[in-house]
Amino acid sequence: MARPLRQSLIAFMTVAGLWAAPAWAAGMRDAVSSVDIFRSIGIAASVAGILLLILVQYVYRKRLSHSTYHRLLLVGVFLLPLTATWSTTATVMEGTKSVQACRSCHVMHPFVNDMTNPSSPTLAARHYRNNWIAKDQCYACHVTYGATGTLAGKRDGFRHWFHYVTNTYPDPIQYVGSYANSNCLSCHQGTGKWERVKSHQTLVGELSADRIACVTCHGPPHPLPHERTVAMANRDASRRMAGGPDGQ
């Protein structure tokens, strides 16, 4: 291998390594999320790509053979940008799983506020405060399991985003379609508590076909439409601040 090529590769590896290695190592300890890792790889690839192109074009051009020059251009113009594109997509796909991502639309504030309210009795709040779902609490219950589920989840997210930016959504928002019970069943089905209820057994078919929703008996999962108004939010806040029993 030609010396300049080797040098370029070393430079690239160093830069990429500087970004990726600590992130990766940290990721192992769960302190850094996968989003951070994807983002680091993307940034590293971008920086490496630009650096490589500058070096190839302005520093090493005359010293490189024609074929090496072309190969390096291929790496700088296609492979590294492709890596950066992949990492951007992965970052978005992964990053939109977070509660913060959902909360970035104002429409979601009553839902997230309720979920993080330590005295809310909704299903979402109970799952949150009892740590039944450790992270990405919105995503965990709103994406159906399996590859098509992820796809449907992302499609929903895109549609929500589209309606949000074009301001074409109803307020208060309503859940569309039948909620996929598999989100609940994947954790609850088969547990002692679940099995103890006789009607769960006779309803297995109806539940897996989503013809009966778990949340009908065990919900509501979030504040109801009429509970999501500004007035309601203010009233709840003032109640919490007063700290006393709920007045009439």
Which residue ranges make up the site for other proteins (CB under 8 A)? Answer: 119-121, 126, 152, 155-156, 159, 162-163, 166, 168, 176-178, 180, 197-199, 202-203, 206, 209-213, 216-217, 219-220, 224-226, 245-248
**C-beta of 95 vs 219, nearer to other proteins:** 219
The distance of closest approach from Cβ of residue 228 to other proteins in the complex, given in angstroms and rounded to an integer, is 11
Angle of helix 3-28 relative to helix 34-54, nearest 10 degrees?
Answer: 170
Angle at 46 between CA 43 and CA 50, to 5 degrees: 140
- The beta strands (E) that lie in the chain are given as none
Q: What's CA 21's distance to the chain center, in Å?
A: 23
The distance of closest approach from Cβ of residue 43 to other proteins in the complex, given in angstroms and rounded to an integer, is 28
Q: Which residues contact 231 (CB under 8 A, 6 or more apart)?
A: none
The distance of closest approach from Cβ of residue 121 to other proteins in the complex, given in angstroms and rounded to an integer, is 4
Tokens representing residue 30 in the block:
């769960």
**C-beta of 61 vs 155, nearer to other proteins:** 155
The distance of closest approach from Cβ of residue 197 to other proteins in the complex, given in angstroms and rounded to an integer, is 8
The distance of closest approach from Cβ of residue 140 to other proteins in the complex, given in angstroms and rounded to an integer, is 17
Query: Distance between CA 102 and CA 73 in Å, rounded?
Result: 40
The distance of closest approach from Cβ of residue 106 to other proteins in the complex, given in angstroms and rounded to an integer, is 20
**C-beta of 178 vs 186, nearer to other proteins:** 178
**C-beta of 71 vs 127, nearer to other proteins:** 127
**C-beta of 30 vs 206, nearer to other proteins:** 206
**C-beta of 190 vs 243, nearer to other proteins:** 243
The distance of closest approach from Cβ of residue 122 to other proteins in the complex, given in angstroms and rounded to an integer, is 9
Return the closest-CA partner of residue 34 out of 97, 127, 115: 97
Instruction: Concatenate the DSSP letters of all residues of 107-148 into one string.
Output: GGHHHHHHHT-TT--SHHHHHHHTTSS-S-HHHHHHS-SSHH
Residue 244's φ and ψ, nearest 5 degrees, are -90, -175
Tokens representing residue 137 in the block:
């609490």
**C-beta of 45 vs 125, nearer to other proteins:** 125
Tokens representing residue 85 in the block:
């594109």
Residue 172 DSSP class:
S
